[in-house]
Structure 1
Amino acid sequence: MLLALGLAVPAAADEHHGTVATPVCHAATDAARTVEAMIPKDAWNCTGEGWTAREPLGWLRFDAASWQGEVVPRHFFTRTARFEAITLYALDRDGSLRGVRYTESEGKSFPGGPVFQLALPEITPDTTAVLARIERPHSIPLLTEAGLVRHTEDAARTLEEMMLLALVLGMLVLPLMFDVSFYLVLRESFVLFHALMVVAMMGYVLFAGGVISVVASLPVAFLAIMAPLCWAVGCGAALLFLSRFLERGALSRGMRRLTFWAGCWTIAVPGFFAIQFHATQAFDDTGYFLTITPAAVIVSVALIHAILRGSRSAKWVAAAWFPLILTSIERLTRGLGVYAGPASLDLMMFMATGIEVVVISLAIADRFFAIREERDAALTEARMLEQISTRDSLTGLMNRRAIEARFDELLTQGFNTFALIDLDRFKAINDLHGHQVGDAALIACANAIRTTGERDSIAVRLGGEEFVVLLRGDRTLERAEALRQAIPIRIAQDVPGLDLPVTASMGVITLAQAARRSMAFAEFYARADALMYEAKASGRNRLAYERLTVFAERPAPRKREEAA
């Protein structure tokens, strides 16, 4: 790209390069005004003020004094903007006129600037002035930035300027890559809005900066539309980005909505005026600048509002956008014809764009880390809440809610043995020793049936002194009995001072493979509960067992095994 830019802006071929003749007078008239009526000097405004693009005809006058003693000009050039036709006249001393008319499609953009050129009629030593008749001018800079040159390179940007534009364009690629990477992680809408803003800014540098002309020769109308359209989309996307980027609470609800809908307005309404239909020529230039101006105002108000509310991200954005807002205001002022200035002033806006790129990338990175910290904290809190909702607060075992939610999945995984445990005469412990000792006994029971690192056993506290152990694999009945017998030993070890051993009764159900999917948790619990009470009725401190082979509405006759 830099090589192409270097070729597009060659070194001066002779000593007269750089000579540009500028208009000394201008006028705006109705469509009926003839060129003959514009020959007298009193038909012109030569004050340098009062520029307008609202009338059907815009006129420019270049006096020969601006090039006498220099090389005679051969080309008319001006800012790329829409128009219907331009007629160029050479006025000689004897009052004769030579003219050539060009339509919009005949304008030739050339590398090295946002300008297009038209060949002048023959300029002779007798030529006293060049008059330009512009039909339906859509832009004031189309008039204020016109000039006459002998070599088209004289109107081009310098190599340094084009390299600066190429540098800004290259810098815009980096945040676009960041946006893609961040969106894959964050999935936040503000990342997409910023990507749209970056793409629009790239388009603006390409079309308004004239960089696109280095690699492609495009119609003047297309170039004239794309530059202001990209700027409108970029400004609108900036407002959309701001409405979603700042921290929660940084903008009030009303201000956030205002910022969002102002972004939509800026894309739609100035975007419409940017198309520059010939039917809207009388007001589209003014309409564009007046309808895009609120964007700068609302952005400024929103940022001040957010900073006053303590927003860290708003400070980053303000630092990034402040130079861009200032240069945009300067461009708006020129666009409205408040004053005339050279196209080189646009370089300030491109430099501000480069500053914006660097700072806003840092802002997004800073926000990215903040959001990641917020999400990590939220995930940690969610895990804690999940643990609270699925874990028994006293023993740390899974609770009934958790086991019921996963019961079908656990059956599928082979946990087909359901052992219901109830501590014998537990109420007496609370009555004689207090609830604190009772809680210690429950914790000790949980530790006895909790098999840390055991993948084939799951311990659950249902509530009170009731526990469930789910088992899978071989010898599940023997393993359940071993856990039951471990309970009084662990309680005696962890809770000294009890008068009698704290034993447990257990009801165990094993579901055969054929019936694995035929029972819900509540049905398992009801059958195991009945077996557990049978064990208690038989003297406590024992196990009652049943193996189910088919599903039945009522419990089938049970085979019992009792352990002393």
Structure 2
Amino acid sequence: MTVLRLVFRYGLAAALLALLSAQPAAAQEQAIAAFAPSCHVATDLKTDARTMQAAQNWICDNTEWRADVPAVWLRYDAAGWQGKQLPAYFFTRIARFTSIGFHAIDADGQIRSTRLTEADGTPFPAGPVFQLPLPQITAATTMLLVRIEAPHSIPLLTEARIIHDPGRAEWSQVDMMLLAFVVGMLVLPLLFDISFFLVLRERFVVLHAAMVSAMMVYVITAGGLLSVFWTAPVAVMAVIAPLSYAVGAGLSSLFLVSFLERGAQSTLMRRLSIATGLFTMAAPGFFALQLDATQPFDDRAYFITFLPCIVVVSAAVIEAVLRGSRSARYLLLAWLPIIAASIERLLRGFGWYVGPSSLDQFIYVAVGIEVVAISLAIADRFFALRRERDAARTEALMLEQLSTCDSLTGLMNRRAIEARFNELIAQGFNTFALVDLDRFKAINDLHGHQVGDAALVACASAMRAGDDRDTIAVRLGGEEFVVLLRGPRSIERAEALRQAIPMRIAKEVPGLELPVTASMGVIVIADANRHTMAFSEFYARADALMYEAKASGRNRMAYERLTVFNAAPEPRLHGHDRAA
């Protein structure tokens, strides 16, 4: 709900901005201000206005519209504007063409003609249309003939109108508010995508940002909102809108593949979706350029090459829903309106029926619905992935802990201490104490391994009792333990831990015939910053001291202080400091 509230607020702000920027035209009278052609017909380029004035092959209904012909003639009869203000401007949907010729024919046969090109067209400051001035229309004018040479779009023909006041041809303020609201809804997900990507570096976030950017360009150009701020050439507006829609549709297919959960698509559907996305950006994108060489077929080809995208994306979403994909349910909600709107636009593009340009609002609203739904889907997927990653991180930490902790005693194991040894020495742990339980094999032989394990756990508890920031206990294996210490009186503290072992074992493992004592070999490094020995070397020296303690009668400590590290160790002397 938070996402929806933010989208609504941002979209409303953008709508108000566009409303203030738009010209306050009294568009409520648009329906009675503009006049549609009475008839139309397709011809070759040789046919002139005199011939068309007497022609009998006019089509005077909304059928048989074609944009794959050299020229299309539109006829406006004076009966349409009798009693009203005389028309002075021609306007229609933005699309490419070579030229538009106007021929005002008076009752006495006089013809006033002008011929204008794309460069002469002026996009309206609001609405997906451009305008051209008409030759003078007088009270004696009986007919206006308009020849559109090399049209690239059927709506360029079907939505052509003549009007007295060009301001009345603009969209209403309500239309522009809706368009600006949609643009505002498109801007906000880009901010979400940036935020999501900073936290979660997923490819689908980048694809969604690119898709939203393409759709934003489409809405701004196809809806005419760009003309509020910049009057772009008609040829540029005519190409950018369909091209951006093709790019956005292709990115949608790629986004689908990246966004769905693993296993939501079959291998075949995944490959087909990727191929369809690339094809949609390439094929309709090429025909969107509306080159002179492709004029006979690019309008129809543009819409035909969209069909694979509509079919494959629909099939891919349905398959993912049937496979139980949660993300696919959001996509189904997001893309149903825009697929329906695209099909409606496709039917008008084919000329199968004629509708007003206001029907384009349907596709803009569908884009807004798509953005909201997919933003919610990404937010849901974002939190799902974070939960998955947090769970995986927790599991990894648990596995790491299991791999670095002794399973019986819970102490750090040899693998862990070897990995961290140099770090701990650098932190000041300059006392290395090796502990071995005396005659431990006899405990296992007399009382069994279960009792022996209990004794080991009790020994670990005794050494853990001294655990603080300055003491670390480690089990190396069997009945061998290491204690690392730092700070003052480390030898005395190590000895206190050793003496605590028999008491703890006696307390926690009753029934033993003899006390379980421990022998300890201790090394104190005089200058830890100068040490160059590895763990194995410390262990070897401490092990020799520990066996020296055992040879001296067990249940005691032998230690030494190291000041020089390159001399061979001398025989250990129990209880004496010396250089090695």
Partners of 2:71 and 2:560 lie apart in 1 by: 102
Structure 2 CA distance for partners of 1:538 and 1:178, relative to 1, 3 Å: same
- 1:67 maps to what in 2? 81
- 5+ long unaligned stretches in structure 1: none
Maintained 8 Å contact 1:5/1:112: no
1:9-65 CA-partner distances (Å, limit 9, x unpaired): 535499787322112332333434433333333343334222222223233222223
Residue among 527, 532, 535 paired with 1:518 = 532
The residue identity in structure 1 corresponding to 2:521 is: G
For the 8 Å contact 1:515–1:550, the answer to whether it is kept is: no
2:359 matched residue in structure 1: 345
2:393 corresponds in structure 1 to 379
- Deviating more after overlay: 130-139 vs 307-316: 130-139
CA distance in 2, matches of 1:33, 1:529: 110
Instruction: Identify if the C-alpha distance between structure 1 residues 87 and 305 changes in structure 2 by more than 3 Å, giving closer, same or farther.
Output: same
SS at match of 1:42: coil
Q: Which residue of 1 aligns with 2:569?
A: 555
Task: Provide the residue aligned with 1:192 in structure 2.
Answer: 206
Residue matched to 2:512 = 498
- Superposed displacement of residue 293, structure 1: 2.5
Partner of 1:531: 545
Write out per-residue CA displacement over residues 91-121 of structure 1, whole angstroms, 9 at most, x where no aligned residue: 2334442211112111011122100000111
Tell me, in whole angstroms, the C-alpha distance in 1 between the residues paired with 2:35 and 2:524: 102
Partner amino acid, structure 2, of 1:510: V
CA–CA separation in structure 1 for the residues paired with 2:63 and 2:227: 31
Of 557, 561, 569 in structure 2, the residue corresponding to residue 543 of structure 1 is: 557
Following the alignment from structure 2 to structure 1, what is the Cα–Cα distance between the partners of residues 79 and 192? 55
**Which deviates further from its counterpart, 364-373 or 455-464?**
364-373
Is structure 2 residue 122 aligned with structure 1 residue 108?
yes
> CA distance change for structure 1 residues 554 and 212 in 2, over 3 Å: closer, same or farther?
same
Structure 1 outlier segments of 4+, above 6 Å: 13-17
CA distance in 2, matches of 1:452, 1:120: 99
Alpha-carbon distance between aligned partners in 1 of 2:209 and 2:498, rounded to the nearest angstrom: 64
Kindly report which structure 2 residues correspond to 1:207-218, keeping only aligned pairs within 5 A, or say none: 207-218=221-232
1:14-29 aligned at under 5 Å gives the runs: 18-29=32-43
- Which TM-score applies when normalising by structure 2? 0.92
Identity over aligned pairs, percent:
64
Aligned-partner SS, 2:305 = helix
Which residue is equivalent to 2:477?
463
Q: Could you say which residue in structure 2 is the equivalent of 1:181?
A: 195
Please name the residue that 1:313 is paired with: 327
* Structure 2 stretches lacking a partner, 5+ long: 1-14
Does 345-354 or 59-68 show the bigger shift? Answer: 59-68
Does 2:503 correspond to 1:489? yes
Whichever residue aligns with residue 32 of structure 2, its letter is: G
Asked if the contact 2:27–2:167 (Cα under 8 Å) also holds between the matched residues in 1, the reply is no
Q: Counterpart in 1 of 2:250?
A: 236
**Cα distance in structure 2, aligned partners of 1:415 and 1:67:** 100
- How many Å separate the matches in 2 of 1:114 and 1:318? 29
> Over residues 350-408 of structure 1, what are the superposed CA-to-partner deviations in whole Å (9 max), with x where a residue is unaligned?
12222223222222222222122212211111111111111111111111111111112
Letter in 2 for 1:89: H
2:384 is aligned to 370
Matched, 1:119 2:124: no
Secondary structure (helix, strand or coil) at the match of 1:98 reads strand
Amino acid in structure 2 at the alignment position of 1:436: Q
Q: Quick check: 1:92 aligned with 2:106?
A: yes
| Partner SS for 1:41 | coil
Distance 2:18 2:388 in 1: 47
Greater mean alpha carbon deviation, residues 437-446 or residues 469-478: 469-478
How has the CA–CA distance of structure 1 residues 314 and 78 changed in structure 2, closer, same or farther, with 3 Å as cutoff?
Answer: same
Cα deviation, residue 451, structure 1: 4.5
Q: Does 1:449 align with 2:494?
A: no
C-alpha change, 1:16 and 1:361, in structure 2 (3 Å) is closer
8 A contact 2:97–2:148 mirrored in 1: yes
Cα distance in 2 for residues equivalent to 1:14 and 1:387: 73
Asked if 1:202 corresponds to 2:216, the answer is: yes
The residue aligned with 2:71 is 57
CA distance in 1, matches of 2:467, 2:135: 95
